Amino acid sequence: MTRTEKLAASLEKRYGKRVAAAGSGGGPGGRNARDRQGGKPKNVRHTIGRLMVYVLQEKARLAGALVCVLISTFSMLAASYMLRPIINTYIVPLDGTRGDPAGLFRALLVMLSVYMAGIVSTYLQSRLLMRIGQNSLQRMREDLFSHMQELPVRFYDGNTRGDLMSRFTNDIDNVGNMLSSTLISVFTAGLTLAGTLALMLYTNVILTFVTILVIPLMLKAVTKIAQTSGKYYSLQQSALGALNGYVEESITGQKVIKVFNHEEITKEEFNILNEKLKTNQIKAQFFGGIMGPVMNCSTQVTYTLTAVVGGILCVLRGFDIGGLTVFLNYSRQFGRPINEIAMTMTSVFSALAGAERVFAVMDAEPETPDDADAYVPQPMRGDVVMEHVSFGYNEDHMVLKDISLYAHPGQKIAFVGSTGAGKTTVMNLLPRFYDVQQGTITIDGVEIRHYQRDELRKNIAMVLQESHLFTGTIMENIRYGRLDATDEEVIEAAKTASADAFIRHLPMGYQTVIDGDGSNLSQGQRQLLNIARASVSRAPVLILDEATSSVDTRTEQLINEGMHHLMDSRTTFVIAHRLSTVRDANAIMVLEHGEIIERGTHEDLLKMQGRYYELYTGKAELD
């Protein structure tokens, strides 16, 4: 294999499965788009039914829109037909008499008012439909969002953020387009088609057959082209998906690329993907673009045939010129609705598939509802007891085995152990992010699943391993812990968390706006804000999951001192890598493979000379 071939093979393995989202032309939305390759809706009738529920909430507007559609289609058809009597009666009377300007004027006035009626109703119709579409979309987004709030954490483990995002963006967009324009254009097209056909038959049967003769040929060409271009289109989308994925990954890791002098190889790989995209794009775009000229040509052929056959009919069978004129217009119009329906069917299907993906999220099982007599703690003291708790993310693999422990208010319980030992998992059970499979967890003697879930969580303040902030001022971010906290309380909490000093250094102090991902703050600073957020809440149970891992030890000590009085009345759980963080705990649990293998105070554990002692000696060498 040559070097290029090797690179190409590796790229295929890494990015081959990515597909850019349909219609979006790629972009960040398309990253986790593996499952959208087959963009076919599975249960069309069911999905349409559910969409209708949204649309039908606007019955009055919908009825109005339907009336407008009928009026506009009817008046367009009527006006186009009026040309025939006008020519035959007033301009070139069939009986050979001279034309009648006064009559022509009157007839044209009628024609003009019919036109106007059509225009006004077209406008009203699109306004109403736009409104219906947007209202339905708004409700749908609202439902999706609020349902997602109710979904358990487990759901988010199994779905990537990119995938969920693309349901909010691409999928809902497609549905929106369908609701506000595609559906109605299909409907109007159908109506126009039927009306035109009726008028054509009324005008001249033979000419109608000539016109229709071309349609099967045209349809055949259209489907053939659509198939070919569909094939190349999906090739293009996967090439685009691969390229976008590559761009995203390499730009994200650009600093590493620079440190490793990897720019040349990166360019080489990019060029392979780029060339592949070019090849596929040329084919896809070419076949996609052919549709226009082919349709155009077939319209012209129909027009030609109509003109020739119509002309001959005029000569041989006395077909009237007015009739031929309107018929020529019809022959041009006739192809358009068919074309429109054919073209929009693909987008209707992809919109339905999008709607299905949206509904799939809405159908996902929410967190189990509270019992009717669920307990409301008043107030909670924070006496936590775990008895023989076992838990696994899936049934056949237990992550936690037979965990028992207790923690009284004012106590600090620490968890120590290697990555993957189950420390974070234990803590996720307390606020019921997951429910235990075996054993019980009680707080103040009440099993946690008997509390109202919201009340339970309000009583547990967490500082999570991954520090997350929201777009907004620093003040707002800390206040997130307790929405009714005063500015003074927020600043107090920031002082407790040793965050006050750096916040005051910022250009706008507490009013500094931070990005959602907090990219303008260091990891350590973000952790300080997270701690401040938890301190401002008055929850009796406090969980610190690697809360200070990126904070230097001196600052950490300041935080500990600051939080000392805070912890006095609270039950605190601490997970930490640094053993210095946990040594003053009332009890330290050493976890390994989901089991507590040692427990006791720092001194007890050192005396045991077990796992903790081993871990600690990595540090004990200091002395």
Partner 1 sequence: MKKYTPYIKPYLFFFIVGPIMMLTEVFGEVWIPRLMSMIINNGVANHDIAYILRIGLLMLGACLIMICGGVLGGYFSVRSAVGFTGDLRRDLFAKVQTFSFADLDDFSTGSLVTRLTNDLQQIQMMVMMTLRMALRSPGMLVGGLIMAMALNRELAMILLIVIPLLAFSIFLIMKTAYPRFSRMQTALDALNNGIQETLTNVRVVKSFVREEHEEEKFTKLNGDLKQRTLDAMNTVILTMPVMTFFMNITAVAVVWFGGNRIIAGRMQVGDLTAFITYVTQILMSLMMLSMVILGSARSMASFKRVSEVMDFVPDLDDVDAKQKDRKVEWGSIEFQDVSFAYPAADRIQDDETTSGAAPLPGAGFAPGSAVNRNVLEHISFKIEPGETVGILGATGCGKTSLVQLIPRLYDVTAGRVLVDGVDVRDYSLYHLREGVGMVLQYNTLFSGTISENLRWGNEDASDEDVVRYAEYAQADSFVSAFKEGYDKMIEQGGTNVSGGQKQRLCIARALLKRPKILILDDSTSAVDTATERRINEAFATELKETTKLIIAQRIGSVKDADRIIVMDDGHIVDIGNHEELIRRCSEYQEIYYSQVERNEVAV
- In the complex with partner 1, which residue's Cβ is closer, 215 or 247? 247
Residue 83 CA to chain centroid, in angstroms? Answer: 51
Cα–Cα dist 153/434, whole Å: 7
Is 130 an interacting residue with respect to partner 1 (CB under 8 A)? yes
The least distance separating partner 1 from the CB of residue 504, rounded to whole angstroms, comes to 8
Which one, 388 or 619, has the nearer CB to partner 1?
619
φ/ψ of residue 571, rounded to 5: -95, 125
H or E segment to which residue 123 belongs: helix 101-150
- How many other CB atoms are there within 10 angstroms of residue 448's CB atom? 21
What is the closest distance, in whole angstroms, from the C-beta atom of residue 388 to partner 1 in the complex? 25
Nearer to partner 1 by Cβ, of 208 and 467: the residue is 467
Q: Determine if 6 is a binding residue for partner 1 (CB under 8 A).
A: no
Token pair 């997602």 is at which residue? 148
Least distance CB 372 / partner 1 (angstroms): 20
Closer of 36 and 41 to partner 1 (Cβ): 36
Within 371-410, the residues that bind partner 1 by CB under 8 A are none
User: How many residues comprise the chain?
Assistant: 623
Q: Confirm if 391 and 429 have CB atoms less than 8 A apart.
A: yes
Out of 8, 62, 78, 104, the residue judged to bind partner 1 by CB under 8 A: 104
CA distance linking residue 327 with residue 335, whole number of Å: 13
Tally of CA atoms within 13 A in the half-sphere of 92 that contains its CB: 8
Q: Applying CB under 8 A, what is the total number of residues that bind partner 1?
A: 176
Going residue by residue from 215 to 244, which x/- string records binding to partner 1, judged by CB under 8 A? -------------------------x--xx
CB-wise, 270 or 406, nearer to partner 1? 270
Stretch that binds partner 1, among 157-165, 194-202, 341-349, 567-575 (CB under 8 A): 157-165
The token pair that represents 4 in the structure block: 């290029």
DSSP line for 448-506: GGGB-HHHHHHTEEEE-SS----SEEHHHHHHTT-TT--HHHHHHHHHHTT-HHHHHHS
Run of H or E including 415: strand 412-416
- Tokens, residue 522: 């260091």
By CB under 8 A, the residues from 539 to 568 that bind partner 1 are 549-557
Starting at the earlier edge strand, list the strands of the sheet with 595-600. Answer: 460-463, 541-545, 571-575, 412-416, 587-592, 595-600
In this structure, the strands spanning 460-463 and 541-545 are parallel
| CA nearest neighbour of 572 among 461, 479, 490, 482 | 461
Determine contact, residues 15/32, Cβ cutoff 8 Å: no
Binding-site member from 63, 206, 308, 376 for partner 1 (CB under 8 A): 308
Our finding on whether 591 is near partner 1 (CB under 8 A) is no
623 forms part of the interface with partner 1 (CB under 8 A): yes
Residues numbered 416-435 forming contacts with partner 1, rule: CB under 8 A: 418-420, 431, 433
Query: Which residue's structure tokens are 């309000």?
Result: 458
Rounded CA separation 87/103 (Å): 11
Rule CB under 8 A: which of 22-61 touch partner 1? 25-28
443-482 residues in contact with partner 1 (CB under 8 A) are 454, 457-458, 460-462, 464, 468-471, 480-481
Q: How far is CA 86 from CA 100, 107, 423, in A?
A: 10, 7, 87
Phi, psi of 591 (to 5 degrees): -100, 140
Of 52-60, 113-121, 351-359, 489-497: span binding partner 1 (CB under 8 A) = 113-121
If the CB atoms of residues 460 and 532 are measured against partner 1, the closer one turns out to be 460
DSSP string, 228-295: HHHHHHHHHHHHHHHHHHHHHHHHHTHHHHHHTT-HHHHHHHHHHHHHHHHHHHHHHHHHHHHHHHHH
Among 53, 63, 94, 112, binds partner 1 (CB under 8 A): 112
Could you tell me the smallest distance in angstroms from the CB atom of residue 613 to partner 1? Answer: 11
Of these, 40, 161, 224, 388, which contacts partner 1 (CB under 8 A)? 161
Query: Which 494-523 positions form the footprint of partner 1 (CB under 8 A)?
Result: 501-502, 505-508, 511-517, 519-523
* Binding span for partner 1 by CB under 8 A among 92-100, 194-202, 400-408, 593-601: 92-100
- Closer to partner 1 at the Cβ: 258 or 388? 258
Give the shortest CB-494-to-partner 1 separation in angstroms. Answer: 13
Which one among 1, 60, 316, 372 touches partner 1, defined by CB under 8 A?
316
Smallest distance from partner 1 to CB 283, Å: 9
Other CB atoms within a 10 A radius of the CB of residue 381 amount to: 17
**Which residues are CB-neighbours of 387 under 8 A, at least 6 positions away?**
404, 439, 440, 441, 442
74 binds partner 1 (CB under 8 A): no
Residue 406: exposure state from Cβ atoms within 10 A (0-12, 13-18, ≥19): middle
Choice from 1, 60, 372, 622 touching partner 1 (CB under 8 A): 622
- x/- letters, 240..269, toward partner 1 (CB under 8 A): x--xxx-xxxxxxxxxxxxxxxxx-xxx--
Residue 553 Cβ, how far from partner 1 at the closest point, in Å? 4
Letters for 339-358 (x = contact with partner 1 by CB under 8 A, - = none) are --------------------
**Shortest distance (Å) from residue 234 CB to partner 1:** 16
What are the φ and ψ backbone dihedral angles of 573, each rounded to 5 degrees?
A: -110, 135
Residue 262: CB minimum distance to partner 1, A: 6
Given the rule CB under 8 A, which of 49-57, 164-172, 183-191, 227-235 is the region that contacts partner 1? 164-172
What binding mask, one character per residue, do residues 171-210 give for partner 1 by CB under 8 A, x or -? ---------x------------------------------
CB of 525 to partner 1, least distance (A): 5
